[in-house]
Structure formats: structure tokens, C-alpha cells
Structure 1
Amino acid sequence: MTTDITEFPQVPYKELRVTRSGPVLRAELNSPGTGNALTGTTLDELLALLDGLRESPEVRVLVLSGAGDDFCVGADRVDLESALDTDPRGAQLRGLGEKARRVCEALENTHAVTIARLHGRVIGAGVGLALFCDLRAAADSSRFRLPELALGLPPAWGGMLPRLLAEVGAARVRELVITGATFDASTAFTLSIVHRVVLAAELDTTVENWVKPLVRRPPEALRLAKLMLNAYAKAGRFMDGTLLDSHLFATALAAHRRTDPEAGPHR
């Protein structure tokens, strides 16, 4: 039986829908009118949820999905423009960027196995959010894009560039970032951005086929496996460049606004 979560921090969720069924926690981005664009509020709620997970070792699996027609169309442009209007030098933007980095870091490091259920548009920060999940399944009708350069931004949201390089490889990432071209779910599978591509009607079944054996795995072995996979994936890095991402993101957008006062981020 699925019940509203009660043992996590009592956050009055506005942009998430959170439910739990035994060891399985489900978090749905719940702003379908904006394509589940990620606001500061969304990031705060995700942080509260992930912080709560640290105190709940009995939760084995976290499924992340999106309400409505899309998984996530990226960072919310209204939030970004408002932050830039308030402080043209970018201090508030850096704050949003730091929240994004903390969310992605928490997704990567939580003891629970994280599963991204992807459909519709998966754009920019939406790609980044999905990439930090351990397993990713997409409907065959999903469409993906990294439009940051066209918006006057570096690919710096949440520390997704090193994750993308590790999962996909430098040559193909270079093409995705520089061209900003839209690509389909089949291409995302070929690039290892997703692990499964299925008919939209089969997406929930695919996710459940991952969930069922995971909840039977010995929890300590599962936790250690995640730690090992993360450690070996990062073994080749000499520094954590993601610590600079919020500064790069804010500096680039502020500079773009100065050179073109009418410019702003668009989804």
C-alpha cells in the first residue's frame, strides 16, 4: 500500500509529490504547467527529501519522475531572470547553482538506489538531474537536449559535465554541448544516457522490474556497491571542478545580460 510519507522532514511540498510504499520512495516533480522546470523551491524540496533519506536506511529505492507531459524542461527561466534582476552581479544565481550542485551530489551519494523515470522533454538541467540517478529508463517518445550554449551559459548546472563525460565520453559530449541538437531516446540509449528505452505504456513496468529485485538485496551490500561504483568512477579525477560550477554559471549569465540587456535564459 502506498502512503504519504510521514517520517521525513515535514516539508509542505509545493513542487514535489512524495509517496512511499515500504522500502520504495517515489518523488514526482509536480509543476506540470511549466514542464516541471526546476525552481529554487524545487531544489529546496529535493534537498529536504534527500537529507531525510540519510536518516532512513530502510528506504532502498528512490524513483524520480515528472508529472504531466514532460520529465523536466530544465532550470526555470523566471527564477533565473528574477535572481539576475535582483543582483546583476550574480550572487543569487550562485546560490541557485550551489543548491543544484548539492541536490546532484546528494542524489549520487544517497544509500538508496535511484531510478529516473523519463518521458516527454528532458532538457538541460533535466538531463543533469536524471544523469545523477543510478538507473534511467525512458519512453521511446522522449526527447533530450543540452541547450546551454544557445542561452549564453556553460554546461555547469549541478556538476553535470563531469558526470556526462564519465557516462558518455568526451567526443560525443563535445558534440551534444556545442551543437545543442535535440536527440531521441534511441540516441540517448546508444550514448548510455539511459539504460532502457521502452514504449510509454511499458515505462512503469520497466521501473518496477528494477525495483522488485532491488528491495530484496542485502542493504549493506547494496550500499557498499554504490560507494565502490562512485569511488572508481571518480578515481581518474584530479580535482572536483564542480565546486566552480555555480560561479561559472552565474558569471556567464551575468556577462551575457550585460552585453545584451534583452537577453535571458529561455527554456
Structure 2
Amino acid sequence: MVLLVKSERAPGGASGRVLHLTLDRPEARNAMSLAMVGELRAALGDAEEAGDVRAIVLRGSGGHFCAGGDLKDMAAARMSHDGAAAVAGVSARFGELCVAFARTGIAVIAAVEGTVMGGGFGLACVADVVLASETAQFRLPETSLGVVPAQIAPFLVERLGYAEARRLAVTGGKLDARQALALRLVHEVHAPEELGNAVDRVLADVLRCAPHAVAASKALIARARLQPASALIGEAATVFAQAALGPEGTEGTTAFLQKRAPSWAPR
């Protein structure tokens, strides 16, 4: 196992569970092996199927988040009998992982520290909330190695914008935590000893929000990136009506009028 999976009841009496996923290859600064990709995909799939996971927290062990793809897997693919197809397959599997985390209706929080490189950079880009330690060092080294940040390129553009994605790609980008904050790659920066408290605080905020409303909001916001507002008026109205008339909307409105926490929230 190269992924530590910890599931716990949501704190504060909130409904559901929180899933903690820790990349656990400290000897390799948690480089993303094919085994790790498979375990992450399986853990996310299990969480979505279970239906009661309210949030996923991604972190790395040993003081680092992720040093990118495992070069041993790529070397093995390169040496295989079908060469280019095998290398493309390794790349595609990581891309599919990023897409799965980007599309999930579950809130995803990444707590990053130390090395955040290549594929680890991509994972940070697909999280909903990124909290960084002051030790975090972001790198996009692919072009300096003669390769391309292929699978994470769309997520770089989505998170940072076209101009910044180009700049980082052509310079083999290096960012410290404060520079990442200025670009909004990360949302908060904390001293290493405060990172856990920051995760707990953001989790409490997430758990105050209704889970199905969170999923519907994430899906609508994703579509809003690609369509003008005028094209979404009808769809947005339908989504709102379904939520307002559904069990969460009814409970949320009733709780507000009764001046109490809704059933899904911490007490």
C-alpha cells in the first residue's frame, strides 16, 4: 500500500464521514507511482459509491506532498515492447485521476507542504481548497527535463489562467508558498505547526454546507467556466428550484427560521 486511507465520522456531530488520503512513499517524496494512482482512484470511487463522505483531505507523508510522477514507471513503459503506447498509457492514467478528482461532487481539500512537483502540482490544481505550509515549494520541471506537463496542462490553465500557465511551462516554473498564494494556486499559507488547525477550520466550514448542494454547485460552476451566463439561465433556475424544493432546501430554510443548525451541520 502506498496510500494511507483513514475514514472518520465528521466532527462536531455533523452527518457523514471525512476521508483522509495520505500519499505514503516518504522515501521518494511521495512520487506518484501507478500503484498510487490506482489506489487514489479506488479510494475516490469507494467514497462516491458510499454516498456519505462529505469531504476528502489530501496530504503527503514525511514533510512532502508529492514529487510528481514516478520515473521508474515511465522507464519501464519506455522499455516495453510497445514503447510509445505504453508511455502514453501511463500518462493517461494520471490524467484520468486528475479528471476524477476535478469532477467529484465531494469537497476536496489539499494540505500541501515541502515538494509539490509535476503531478503533485496537478493534484493541487484540482482540489477545491488548497492550504499550504510555509515549507511548500511548487515546481513544474517537465520542460527542463525535455518532456511536457501534458496531463496537468488543462488544470494549470483552469487554475492559474492562460498567461501564468504559459510562463510556468516555458520557465520550468518554481514558486514558493507566498508566490503560489499571490497567484491563487493556494488559498491560505500557514506555519507548519498550524496547517492541521487550518484543515480543521476549513472542514468545519465545508460541513456547514449541505452535501448535495455542494455537489450541485461544483457541477454548475464547472459548466459556467465554458459557457456564457446567458446560456445557463434556464439550467441554473432548474438546479435552484430542485434544491430549494428538495429535502436539503426545506431543512435549511426551516433551520434558519428556527434559529438552529441544519441536520447536516456541526452542532
Q: Give the shorter-chain TM-score range.
A: 0.7 to 0.9
Q: Distance in 1 between matches of 2:66 and 2:75?
A: 18
- Choose the corresponding residue for 1:111, options 105, 114, 133: 105
Is the 1:53–1:110 Cα contact (8 Å) retained in structure 2? no
Give 1:88 deviation, angstroms. Answer: 6.0
Indicate the SS of the match to 1:24.
strand
Residue in structure 2 matched with residue 205 of structure 1 by the alignment:
197
Give 1:191 deviation, angstroms. Answer: 0.9
Indicate the SS of the match to 1:171.
helix
Q: What do the CA deviations read for 1:204-260 (whole angstroms, capped 9, x no partner)?
A: 111111101212321221111111121112438xxxxxxxxxxxxxxxxxxxxxxxx
* Inter-CA distance 88–150: structure 2 relative to 1 (3 Å threshold): farther
Residue 15 of structure 1 pairs with residue 2 of structure 2: yes
1:138-217 alignment, distance < 5 Å = 138-157=132-151, 160-217=152-209
Residue 220 of structure 1 pairs with residue 212 of structure 2: yes
In structure 2, runs of 5+ residues without a counterpart are 10-16, 229-267
Give 1:186 deviation, angstroms. Answer: 0.5
For 2:178, the aligned partner's letter is: S
Higher helix fraction (1 or 2): 2
1:1-267 alignment, distance < 5 Å = 14-22=1-9, 23-87=17-81, 89-157=83-151, 160-235=152-227
Q: Distance in 2 between matches of 1:95 and 1:168?
A: 27
Q: Distance in 2 between matches of 1:87 and 1:185?
A: 42
Structure with greater Cα Rg: 2
Query: Percent identity over the alignment?
Result: 33
Is the 2:131–2:195 Cα contact (8 Å) retained in structure 1? yes
For 2:136, the aligned partner's letter is: S
Is the 2:48–2:106 Cα contact (8 Å) retained in structure 1? no
Q: What do the CA deviations read for 1:94-119 (whole angstroms, capped 9, x no partner)?
A: 22112111111110111210001100
Give 1:69 deviation, angstroms. Answer: 2.3
Indicate the SS of the match to 1:60.
strand
Q: Distance in 1 between matches of 2:163 and 2:211?
A: 37
Q: What do the CA deviations read for 1:180-214 (whole angstroms, capped 9, x no partner)?
A: 14220001011111111111111111111110121
For 1:26, the aligned partner's letter is: H
Aligned-residue CA RMSD in angstroms? Answer: 1.3
For 2:167, the aligned partner's letter is: E
Structure with larger RCO (C-alpha < 8 A, sep 6+): 1
